[in-house]
Amino acid sequence: MPKTPIIPPGSAPPLAPYSPGVKAGNVIYVSGVLPLDAEGKVIGAGDAAAQTRAVLEAIKAIVEAGGGRMSDIAYCNIFLADMAHYAAMNAVYREYFPSEPPARWCIQCGLVRPEFLVEISAVAHLA
């Protein structure tokens, strides 16, 4: 099955050798997304809610560039630098998935740079 990289215009430059998203058949795999702007600068330093919003907007851009919608997301992996950010992340996350939210898991872990508080990856299944 062929796969197609998805790199939306204005997306943050990858910090390593990966594509922001890949479409294979009717599935879009979204890499772990960090709160970075198009120039690679951190969005929402010190603010987990702002970082979650930036991450979910980037995921939305990737999924839409692949022909999907946020409602097509079936699964998310959420990484938090500190579980103290769980409530702030959830408040924003709920806005993007108001009904029938995807399956997910959430863990606390060290992220690639200390200024990152939130990272999310996703899998979308297109109808």
Query: Is the pLDDT at 14 greater than 90, yes or no?
Result: no
Rg (CA), the chain: 14
The domain locations on the chain are 3-125
pLDDT confidence band for 1 (50 / 70 / 90): confident
Secondary structure E strands in 10-117: 21-24, 27-33, 73-80, 103-108
Give 21-68 pLDDT, tens digit per residue.
999 999 999 999 999 999 999 999 999 999 999 999 999 999 999 999
pLDDT of residue 115 exceeding 90 = yes
Whose structure tokens read 């898991």? 105
* CA gap 61, 77 in Å, rounded: 17
pLDDT of residue 15: 83
106 flagged as catalytic: yes
Residue in 22, 106, 123, 126 annotated catalytic: 106
Mean pLDDT of 66-86: 98
Is the pLDDT at 92 greater than 90? The verdict is yes
CATH code, residues 3-125 = 3.30.1330.40
Q: What is residue 85's predicted lDDT score, i.e. its pLDDT?
A: 98
- Of all residues in the chain, the percent with pLDDT exceeding 70 is 100
pLDDT at 99 over 90: yes
